[in-house]
Amino acid sequence: MSVSSNSSASDGVDWQDVEPDEEQLTFTSPFGPETFPTLRELLDHCQNTKGFDLVATFKRLGLDFHGGVKLVNFLRCSTRDSTPVRNEVTAEDFADDKYLIPVLENDALLFSLDEILEQENESAVTSEGAASGPSELAAQNKELQAQLEALKEQFANYRLAVEETLDRRWGDEKEPAPSNIAPKKDNGDYYFESYAANEIHETMLKDQVRTDAYRDFIYENKNLFAGKTVLDIGCGTGILSMFCAKAGASHVIAVDKSDIIAKATENVFNNGLSDKITCLRGAIEDVKLPVDKVDIIVSEWMGYCLLYEAMLPSVLYARDHYLKEGGLLIPSSATLWIAPIEDPEFVADSIDYWRDVYGFDMKAMQENIYDEVRVQVMPSKIVCGTASPFRCLDLYRVTTDELVFTAEWTSQLTRQIDSLTGFLIWFDNFFAGSTSTYMPNPEETPETWKKQPGDIAFTTGPFEKETHWRQGVMILPPSESSALESGAKLSGTVTFATAESNKRALEIEIAWSTNEKTPITRKWDLK
């Protein structure tokens, strides 16, 4: 809403444009905790107190922007590690590319390197200008100006790398797309680009069920990791790799094709684990590992309804090419479950809602509404029949071809229902300290599974603490739903297939019948 100048004048208020305050930088000494409000004061401190002239060192070594970054981070690393620094430092002292990684977050000195380089260039002009004519001086100024512009561009690129700006959100990336919009085709990079955003990793790390399971298994089985070589596929922020290193692994190879690998490398360095963890960027099918075989493969590859995102084939590829005979897979098996549900409240809120939106009929929004898998947390009270484990994947033996399958399922209603709303699908994961495979018992829960000491299990189902995987919800249209008595038996098949339009998407087909009647079949998309 705009306000006219007349109204402002009549109110007797003199409005003035207020410029936003500029960000106040604080410069931290590379030789200690001392901080300074200006770059000049920092440079004077280094020269007068520490006997180290940064500007002169830049000039003596002929450093460009990236060389300056390395020098500053080298000095900070030496201070942090209590390593003496010679006044006559040489370029070889900080030649390692690890010094491109900033030691301080938002290091104002790094952001001001162009000013140091400008001072160096200005001093060169002063010394050479006395013996040069006006034309030569103008040529030198022109050349130095071009160098300064190039350095500013380098600085801008570096700052962007340090201060990532990401506008994608977890919900936007992971929710199924509306069915009336053509799905994105997987061009090989889109999937990995979606994992560059901080939000998606924050969501996964804050999923305590997920992260605690990996941590607990690794820390409770340190004897399995001591002195071993571990491969972490899709390492993300590097959390699992760091768990393994802390548990005693001698070498961890962390692989990820997403840009997040740069952050993982920083995380590893900042936690003092660079000597144990090697970070590699690329798909596991493409990268060259520094070893021929590994003792353990760890990966968090699970997607919605377990197989969405199709990351498991990469783990199986690594298993077949890199895992030593008798080596461990973490997790070792996964189980898919299905159960019938009755939820009239959900139908009213999510489907019938469109028939009266503030008094308007928006039934157009219901188009294809029964054709999509919804991914959300559902209350356990809506489950109206026994859960059926329709597929157990033994990760030591399953093949990629077997990830497209049709499996049988059965259920018995535990109460009378007015209408069968649809079906719920979820999965469990099992972490075993040996190559044995856990086969689920429908009468058990993760708390009662018979496990060896150190084994870990968790579920994404509706009866336990929610996870970021939630559950897959498949809703039936009214024409395919009916009232059923308590004790009625449901049976049928579940088919998992890869979507033709996107190899990382899923098509789920469920066939069911009651008391041996003619089966009904319906297909849902998870895009």
239-267 CB burial, b ≥16 within 10 A, e <16: bbbbbbbbbebebbbbbbbbbbbbbbbbb
Residues 438 and 333 sit within 8 Å (Cβ to Cβ) = yes
Q: Can you name the residues that pair with 281 across neighbouring β-strands?
A: 256
User: Where would I find the H helices in 99-207?
Assistant: 108-111, 113-129, 134-162, 170-174, 190-193, 198-205
What residues contact 229, with CB distance under 8 A and at least 6 apart? 249, 250, 251, 252, 253, 291, 293, 294, 295, 296
Catalytic residue among 34, 92, 220, 309: 309
d(CA 413, CA 488): 5
d(CA 407, CA 391): 7
d(CA 262, CA 484): 55
Question: And the tokens for 417?
Answer: 């229902």
Known active-site residue 300: yes
Please state the φ and ψ torsions of residue 335, each to the nearest 5 degrees.
Answer: -125, 135
Question: And the tokens for 485?
Answer: 């008595």
151-168 CB burial, b ≥16 within 10 A, e <16: beebbeebeeebeeeeee
Residue 164 region, left (φ>0) first, then alpha (ψ -120 to 50), else beta? beta
d(CA 521, CA 512): 7
Task: Write the DSSP assignment of 39-63 as a string of letters.
Answer: HHHHHHHHHHTS---HHHHHHHHT-
Catalytic residue among 120, 300, 342, 372: 300
Residues 293 and 271 sit within 8 Å (Cβ to Cβ) = no
Residue at 362: amino acid letter: M
Count CA within 13 A, CB hemisphere, residue 456. Answer: 16
Known active-site residue 23: no
Would you give the end-to-end CA distance of the chain in angstroms?
Answer: 40
| Nearest by Cα to 302 from 215, 399, 426, 434 | 426
Residue at 480: amino acid letter: E
Question: And the tokens for 167?
Answer: 């506008």
Residues tagged active-site: 300, 309
